[in-house]
């Protein structure tokens, strides 16, 4: 039996290690877990720097925190765009496979329609022949 892979399996096999990492990062950064964890860390960062008695490593207006966010955004944006580009490629592959399936289904339906038409014509021919025989027998 021939082992045919679907479009998704082919796509997953074609992904490089970097592509898999980019997709994982994009998936993680696009989750509520990431937003909640980041919010908690920011609140802790700001709280420790506002109420710290001895050492403030990032005093208000939190320039270091702003730099960290800028760096995170500088790396996150291209990684997320790489993942989106791959998603577009997956969607294109999926659409092509759907189109092929639809073309094949259309051909089968057309063949069935021709077959049904032929069966219908044969039935009508038999009915007409039977009626003519009945007429001739009278």
Global pTM reads 0.59
Q: Which two tokens stand for residue 21?
A: 């990492």
Q: For residue 124, is pLDDT > 80?
A: yes
Phi-psi region of 62 (alpha: psi -120 to 50; beta: other; left: phi over 0): left
Rounded alpha-carbon distances, angstroms, from residue 10 to 20, 22, 55, 94: 14, 18, 55, 11
Q: What is the pLDDT of residue 113?
A: 95
**pLDDT greater than 60 at residue 1:** no
Given a contact cutoff of 8 angstroms between Cβ atoms, the answer to whether 23 and 83 are in contact is yes
Looking from the CA of 122 toward its CB, the CA atoms found within 13 Å total: 6
pLDDT of residue 32: 93
């Amino acid at each position: 039996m021939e082992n045919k892979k679907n479009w998704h399996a082919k796509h997953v096999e074609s992904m490089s290690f970097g592509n898999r990492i980019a997709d994982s990062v994009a998936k993680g950064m696009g989750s509520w877990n990431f937003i909640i964890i980041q919010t908690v860390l920011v609140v802790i960062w700001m709280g420790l720097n506002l109420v710290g008695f001895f050492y403030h490593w990032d005093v208000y207006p939190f320039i270091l925190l702003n730099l960290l966010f800028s760096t995170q955004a500088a790396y996150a944006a291209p990684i997320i765009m790489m993942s989106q580009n791959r998603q577009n490629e997956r969607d294109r592959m999926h659409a092509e496979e759907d189109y092929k399936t639809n073309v094949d289904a259309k051909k089968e339906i057309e063949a069935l329609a021709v077959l049904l038409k032929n069966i219908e014509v044969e039935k009508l021919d038999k009915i007409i022949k039977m009626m003519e025989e009945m007429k001739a027998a009278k």
